[in-house]
Amino acid sequence: MAKSPKITSSTDIEPSPDTRRRFDATYKQNAVALSKRVGVSQAAKELHVGESNLRNWIQAVAAHGAQAFAPLSLRTDVDAELRRLREEVRILRIEKDILKKAATYFAKENG
């Protein structure tokens, strides 16, 4: 039985094409900082990430600052408010549709 080769670090393993790599918030913040110093293209090459990923991270930092990569449970009240308002809009649309149908029904009945 042949022994498998000894792996000394995670960089010794090539990820399979169907495996997604995951990056933590610190890595993404550092990648954005590096891209500001050396440029997006160069930073993406040095970090072995796609330029589109890096550009998305840059946009996230520009939009949300330090909260850009925080887990949902730790996000600010602004995000919670946005979710609450979207749910309220959804409910109001349903109520509006019900009222339209009721108005149509009563218009037919009286007309």
Q: What is the mean pLDDT of residues 101-106?
A: 93
pLDDT digits (tens, 9 = 90+) for 45-56: 999 999 999 999
If phi > 0 it is left, if psi is from -120 to 50 it is alpha, else beta; for residue 48 that is left
Cα 92 to Cα 5, 63, 103, distances in angstroms: 62, 28, 16
Instruction: Give the pLDDT score at 96.
Output: 97
Q: pTM value?
A: 0.53
pLDDT digits (tens, 9 = 90+) for 64-86: 887 788 776 666 677 778 889 99
